[in-house]
Amino acid sequence: MMKMKRKILALTFDDGPSPDTTADVLDILAEYRIPATFFLVGQNITPDTEPLLRKAVSLGCELGNHSFSHPDMTALSPYEMSVEIDETSKRIERITGKPTRFFRPPYIAVNEDMIRQIPLTFIGGYGINDYDQNLSVEARVSGITDLAADGRILVMHDSEGNSRTAEALRRIIPLLLV
């Protein structure tokens, strides 16, 4: 959560953890002492990326579930949904030591089976196509800051190779703190 005078908004990052982009995002968050929420893809939680997640927790960040393999979960059976969720929560809880609370559906695609089957709080948010690696840093900065508003949840992506979002974040945070 970021406090802008009396205003608050939440920064969230989807599709990580990734060795490079997540590391860069964490360095920036640490510099400003701003916690964020990371919605993690379970298959990316490996011995290589776990130290980054431990750092995130030590900075006060929340770790959420974003499925195991990032499918469109509306196409899955209830059993397959549970496998996606449970393995990811297990990997997260090995790091946090606490029950996982939040879930962001891949592609924000939701159906009734998912709501019945997934015992987590579903979290949406406002974002731009910052997962498109061709999108310029400038467009990311203006796109995200245009979406900023009191009480909003902003969505960005810390997937591997998406260094432009980390670059943009370095410029976005000072603009939001004004």
Is 84 near Zn ion (CB under 5 A)? no
Identify which of residues 65 and 117 has a Cβ nearer to Zn ion in the complex: 65
Torsion of CA 19, 92, 8, 107, to 10 degrees: 80
| Active-site residue, from 14, 15, 130, 158 | 14
Task: Supply the DSSP symbol for 68.
Answer: S
Does the protein bind Zn ion through residue 15 (CB under 5 A)? yes
Helix axes 21-32, 50-58, angle to 10 degrees: 10
Contact call for residues 176 and 1 (beta carbons, < 8 A): no
Which region among 12-20, 77-85, 118-126, 161-169 touches Zn ion (by CB under 5 A)? 12-20
Active-site annotation holder among 15, 24, 130, 157: 157
Residue 132, number of CB atoms within 10 A of its CB? 12
User: Nearer Cβ to Zn ion, position 106 or 143?
Assistant: 106
Contact string (CB under 5 A) for Zn ion, positions 98-137, x = contact:
--------x-------------------------------
Span interacting with Zn ion, options 6-14, 45-53, 87-95, 113-121, rule CB under 5 A: 6-14
Q: How many residues bind Zn ion (CB under 5 A)?
A: 3
In the 8-state DSSP scheme, what is residue 71?
Answer: -
The residue within the footprint of Zn ion, chosen from 9, 14, 25, 130 (CB under 5 A), is 14
Considering beta carbons, is residue 58 or 121 the nearer one to Zn ion?
Answer: 121
Helix ranges (H only) for the chain are: 21-32, 50-58, 78-96, 112-117, 137-147, 163-177
Q: Which of 24, 107, 99, 114 is nearest to 63 (CA)?
A: 99
Nearest distance from C-beta of residue 16 to Zn ion, angstroms: 10
Residue 132: active-site member:
no
Does residue 157 carry a catalytic annotation? yes
Query: Residue 161: left (phi > 0), alpha (psi -120 to 50), or beta?
Result: left
Cβ nearer to Zn ion, comparing 104 with 175: 104
Three-state SS at 111: coil
Where in the sequence numbering do the catalytic residues fall? 14, 157
Residues of the shown chain interacting with Zn ion in the complex, contacts defined by CB under 5 A: 14-15, 106
